[in-house]
Structure 1
Amino acid sequence: MASRAYSIPNLLTYARIIAVPLIVLCFYVEGRLESSDTARWTAFWLFVAASFTDYLDGYLARIWNQTSNIGRMLDPIADKLLVAAVLLLLAADGTITDWSLWAAITILCREILVSGLREYLAALKVSVPVTRIAKWKTTIQMVAIAFLLAGPAGDKLLSYSTEIGLAFLWVAAALTFYTGYDYFRAGLKHIVEE
């Protein structure tokens, strides 16, 4: 059991969890919310590396036959911590504002609701598999967040980088809504009235 807890796929998941406070810290280096170009690019690269571990840990666990209960438990938690913390950070620093906050709220609400549904269904011994469109949603969501983390620093290299990130965020929110509905529809038949 201990050897599985320290397998490479699980170490990658732990690294993704550790990346969350490091990304937030990038914006608080001077003791206040500050989004300098250096902070943004550092947070960007940390996020890109953390996002890549999301793909890599599951892939390696499958091909090396190193799946574990701790990995199955922590992987979705790590994903949700990363996405939620960065969306809240970007809202706090003003990168995500106005109507775009609704896209972020949609994503956060779906993550919480689907997690609750999965937990409930797991107690009933019902598995709800991840769909291909949900994987696309996650990919688009990660691309959106990466663009938004670069924000004004990214705008200096690629005009409208922030606007591209916001557009991807809305696409991710639409897919989030659709996949959330899809999960609830699939899980609804298993919900038992008490």
Structure 2
Amino acid sequence: MNRNPLFLVPNIITIARIAAIVPIAALVMSGDTNARAVALFLYIAAAVSDWVDGYLARAWNQYSDLGRMLDPIADKMLVAILIAVLAWDRSLTGLDMIPAIAILFRETFIPGLREFLGNKTVVLPVTRLAKWKTTIQLVALAVILAVPLIPGLTLVASLVLWVAGIITLWTGWQYLRASWPHLSGIGK
């Protein structure tokens, strides 16, 4: 039986994560503290759904090419759009923009690198640290979202964002180093 991948539960969850980005961004941009609390709740649900969809795909053997494509896109969209919104509403300080930009750079560069290498039939497998990188990014953004709601979180939010930025750059370097023979012509 060939099932439509749109109706597989893990893919529905991933699509819902993508759809949640719009109300999360709108709620944060409203500037209202209560709206931000709702945005934080929706964001945490969206972030946790990243684990849930993967768990269900494995548990129920509901893998699909659509899911393999959409899941990392959903993660990157959630992170990138929330960084843009948090920069817009000045939740990110000037120094916080350094790891934020590093995250945006890596999350754009590495998928482009993968696409380029895919045309050469070179596969860069996702590392365990890269999976943790996504989790740390999601946690960092949740803490930054919570800063106006929970006094005293500012330093913690900045520290977690810097850790996320450093790990993000490190995993980007690992992928670039692994792909270098194919980029330099050595691996031909």
TM-score, L = length of structure 1: 0.90
Indicate the residue corresponding to 1:53 in structure 2. 49
List aligned pairs for 1:115-154, cutoff 5 A: 115-154=111-150
Gaps (5+ residues) in structure 1? 28-32
Indicate the residue corresponding to 1:24 in structure 2. 25
Residue type of the partner of 2:18? I
Indicate the residue corresponding to 1:104 in structure 2. 100
Superposed CA deviations along residues 36-84 of structure 1, whole A, max 9, x for unmatched, are 2212111111111111111111121122111101111111111111000
Mapped to 2, the partners of 1:2 and 1:192 lie a distance apart of: 42
* 8 Å CA contact retained: 1:95, 1:148: yes
Matched, 1:174 2:166: yes
TM-score, L = length of structure 2: 0.92
* 8 Å CA contact retained: 2:25, 2:81: yes
CA root-mean-square deviation: 1.6
Indicate the residue corresponding to 1:187 in structure 2. 179
Label 1:192 to 1:6 Cα distance change in 2 as closer, same or farther (>3 A).
farther
Superposed CA deviations along residues 110-137 of structure 1, whole A, max 9, x for unmatched, are 0000110111122222221111211222
Matched, 1:86 2:87: no
Gaps (5+ residues) in structure 2? none
Label 1:35 to 1:134 Cα distance change in 2 as closer, same or farther (>3 A).
same
Indicate the residue corresponding to 1:7 in structure 2. 8
Count of matched residue pairs: 185
Indicate the residue corresponding to 1:40 in structure 2. 36
* 8 Å CA contact retained: 2:75, 2:134: no
Offset of 1:192 from its aligned partner? 6.0
Mapped to 2, the partners of 1:20 and 1:34 lie a distance apart of: 14
Secondary structure (helix, strand or coil) at the match of 2:4 reads helix
Kindly report structure 1 stretches of 4+ aligned residues shifted beyond 6 Å: none
Offset of 1:2 from its aligned partner? 5.1
Mapped to 1, the partners of 2:53 and 2:181 lie a distance apart of: 32
Secondary structure (helix, strand or coil) at the match of 2:123 reads coil
